[in-house]
Structure 1
């Protein structure tokens, strides 16, 4: 197949194959080092306006396809497109795995990169995605809650799954443990009122208890005082995050899933239930 000029019929067929339903992987126009794929409900091809869910992968990166496909049926029947960004390991040539989780890595701002991706696909599909939902599990849960802290005004919901380390809304501690230096680090002032308007879910398995990957130690890239203070396990840390958000006026739905360890697929139904509830309330209003 070539990219030579095509007939209208061929163009329409290619759009149906590559741009609607489960799409191919696209490079981001603003920074082609990063990619994304989507699930786009077929009704978008007929001019239908839909909502957007951003689903962020974990450290292994492969879950972006599981999320695209795992949310596809939900998206089709609930008028929701799904955008799955891909943040590769070692994009700066250093083999680093976790930069995206903390929003900034060298000159890369992952929060702003995501906003560029959303703008790009909104323009492509003629949609108003000035507000969207964000979901992430494990490393994606890192991203999701920190994005919500930095950009709550862009969200209609946030689902935070099994984040290994959490940023509490502590104005006495610096990023990433707290938020004291947001202005200096990101040029952003924390908007407590905007975050309080975002419906938030936190979801984790009650058997998600391994700590080898989430315990910070001196000398580690993200070590700082207070790095482990939110708890030892993922459920403990997510409980601390929920308490911090609730203290700031955020309504948090906390789902502790019985019998589930660190398994993203086994929490997706809880996430879909939460998003469906938010959509019903949002569209009803």
Structure 2
């Protein structure tokens, strides 16, 4: 069928039916197992390179017979100058965690995927989204891979959101289920040379809070701070530092694929 050209393999960008300002693309192997296929979600960062990440995961999808979903949450929603919206989960009434879950429901209505528990990786701004999504929906995650977030949220009720989790329940309508978070396999990954600081040390801009500087000078240091915070709360972490890599999502993707590959089909 002609439609198979567009619904299988690497697909075009589709508008989400829950909010047509939001989009997604997929890689769907033409042959899937009879059982629901694992679903791997790759969340882009500030550059919105959803299609690039989807294409980079194409061979992995074919080898492991998984469906890869790459959401696209555009910059400039409401505020034409905004580029950060999805990273902090809620933006001007848009709950990006719920939007992702709605997109997954749309995908599950079309393809035989295991939508109840999926694999989530995000790099840079996507890494910010991923660890905050983990706090909100651990029961939906088969695993979480957190790549090089420039700003982190610590499990610390003495610090205001988003530096910490003070007021989390009032903000999001649910508390953090730490026992459920502890059951999710967690991977953190960053390049050893991810040490540029101009973008992540920017007091006065919309994605800055005083106190952020205390979590580390570089993304390497900040991710290590997040690791130590997780481990102090009983959350086991596999921590990968990719030798020689800078701030590059594609450079750390092989480590992500090894992590997910070790879990899929177990």
TM-score of the superposition, structure 2-length normalised? 0.96
- Greater than 2 Å deviation, 4+ residue runs: 46-49, 222-225
Which residue of the partner structure matches residue 10 of structure 2? 22
Task: Sort the Cα spacing of 1:216 and 1:239 in 2 relative to 1 into closer, same or farther, 3 A.
Answer: same
The gaps in structure 2 that reach 5 residues or longer are none
Which of 215, 218, 226 in structure 2 is aligned with 1:230? 215
Distance (Å, rounded) in 2 between the aligned partners of 1:169 and 1:229: 15
How many residues are matched?
266
Matched position secondary structure for 1:176: coil
**Larger Rg computed on CA atoms:** 1
- Check the 8 A contact 1:163/1:234 in 2, yes or no: yes
Matched, 1:36 2:13: no
Pair 1:134 & 2:120 matched: yes
Map of 1:221 onto structure 2: 206
- Does the CA-based 8 Å contact 2:152-2:226 persist in structure 1? yes
TM-score w.r.t. length of structure 1? 0.90
Deviation at 1:128, TM superposition (A): 3.1
Deviations 1:41-87 (A, max 9, x none): 1113x75521001101111112x112111111111111211110001
Tell me the residue number matched to 2:53.
67
Structure 1 distance, partners of 2:127, 2:209, is 20
CA RMSD of aligned residues (A): 1.3
Go from structure 1 to structure 2 and tell me whether the alpha carbon gap of 1:259 and 1:126 turns closer, same or farther (over 3 Å shift).
closer
Q: Give CA deviations for 1:104-160 in whole Å, capped at 9, x if unaligned.
A: 110111011000000110111133311101101111111111111111110010111
- Secondary structure, counterpart of 1:42 in structure 2: coil
Secondary structure of the residue aligned to 1:270 is helix
Residue 224 of structure 1 deviates from its aligned partner by 2.7
